[in-house]
A and B are shown apart, each in its own frame.
Chain A
């Protein structure tokens, strides 16, 4: 039984799952007997969605069959591994590629071969026959290539057969499809036959400057139309991450902004002098299937002219305050105003909560005049005796994780 722990940490026992943040939260996985089409623009591709769905399920004990006509099983497994999605005993491949190139792959317990991938009957009977072998999920990579090899009437009738098999064996299917600009009528028919369609596209002018996925249709979720488009990045290793391009980290001098960014991200950089940030901090955070770019501001007032610029385009804010310095609280609120982020989703981080003289959470709320809907998280430093004076102090991960969860939940 697959388990998915979202930002709430909730575990639910529906399987199979996508293993992709936001998709699982909104669609609650792929129920039995359902067919999902992942339709991608040719300049973005959808293979990583396939790798990630497969990996999530095989590591949760779901037996997965991949019908593969796009490349050889060895190449496929190498690419999955590149994204840090290694295969295990639950993964089975039906190889419809090697027969085309003439370089035959050897059958193993986990790799079965379609001898003549140009033979419609062999393809059909091997796929449908295999579905009786207890697979929880079948992934077809690629379904558009089947349409290219044969024709649309074939793939449309093939979907019906897959659906019958999936329904009678309590399995589910994911079809990876590249939309090369096929006839609209054919594509519409295809979409009408599946239970859910997820579109993967690029935001592009001369170059692609963003990628997003969107649930176009899903017949097992009420209000599926309310699902919005989600920006993502495909990261190697790591796979698909829901992406927040800009989150601001602001607060008074020496409250711990750099500490927060460095503790939350693996690759943070600071432009600083004598320990104080004088230009900006930046770090990328990977957390529970999400990726966010954090931008820190300097705290000193002499850099205030920069604040508006740094706050532009931010979609959420971490406001860091020093729990022992209530006299700085008005400055903290002023910084929200100066970065022009007042009103955006915000999580307040009361740092140094363990130090002598630290105010309690409730007192901080009161002094900052925080609305009850705003989350306040207390953070403390790791063991101070091991602090490197040239590096920002690390904060304990519990507080950091709590803060990230709280803001990301507001942003999704």
Chain B
């Protein structure tokens, strides 16, 4: 199977894209362009007939959809078909929010069991449909804020293990400045590959380690 193209020409040419069955973590500070990276990846993967489970921890599903729309990404045809959202945020503001055909409303950052059960259900549905799958976590930082880090590691270890067994690719987005170095180090240990993003002089750059085609010096992301 070919690797997953991110939609960024320089990234795809230098690295070959994201490999199946691998766990990636995406590090960067607020302005580094993590969301831009994720949204473009979503667009590119969906058009390549890859299914996506998008877990949200700091915005609601309707905010996510309007962000796609405002960037000119037409997500609507994929909603509920190959794009499903696990919304772990909406109930913080509206506790009675319930599921629809494309968004599962979860119970918030403490209910990691609920998140794990939903992930395994939605992954199972996609796999039975013979679709390749990416699990995207936007983002891990919020889960880490509310839970004891050890609890989150146990959770990550469990779901990454399941994902590998099922042939699913996993990508966590992590806000670098929100965590202590030891937390960052542990997340890196759980990942097969690390992508770093940064903004410098109005341009965005990336590097990646842990895969066969590493890019160890920052290259422009375009």
Contacts and interface: CB of A to CB of B under 8 A. Distances in A.
Interface of A: 40, 42-47, 69-75, 78-79, 82, 97, 100-101, 103, 142, 144-145, 148-149, 178, 180-182, 202, 205-208
B147 interface: yes
A45 B117 contact: yes
Contacts of B150: 148
Interface in B72-131: 91-92, 95-96, 98, 107-108, 110-114, 116-117, 119-121, 123-124, 127-128
B148 interface: yes
Interface in B151-181: 151, 154-155, 157-159, 162, 165-167
Given A42-B116, A101-B92, A180-B155, A207 B107 contact: no
A101 B117 contact: no
Interface residues on B, range: 35 or more
A43, A101, A149 — which one has the most chain B CB atoms within 10 A of its CB?
Answer: A43
Interface of B: 91-92, 95-96, 98, 107-108, 110-114, 116-117, 119-121, 123-124, 127-128, 146-148, 150-151, 154-155, 157-159, 162, 165-167
A286 B95 CA distance: 31
Contacts of B123: 207
Contacts of A43: 116-117, 119-120, 158, 162
B158 A70 contact: no
Nearest to B161: A181
A198 to B, nearest CB: 16
Contacts of A42: 112-113, 116-117, 155, 158-159
A72 B108 CA distance: 9
Contact of B108 (A44, A71, A181, A205): A71
Contacts of A202: 120
A84 B148 CA distance: 34
B95 A75 contact: yes
Given A42-B113, A70-B113, A101-B108, 4 more contacts: A42-B155, A78-B95, A100-B146, A202-B120
Contacts of A79: 107
B154 A181 contact: yes
28 contacts: A42-B113, A42-B158, A43-B117, A70-B107, A71-B95, A71-B107, A71-B111, A72-B108, A73-B95, A74-B96, A75-B95, A75-B96, A75-B107, A78-B95, A78-B96, A100-B110, A101-B108, A101-B146, A142-B111, A142-B113, A148-B148, A148-B150, A178-B112, A178-B113, A202-B120, A206-B166, A207-B120, A207-B166
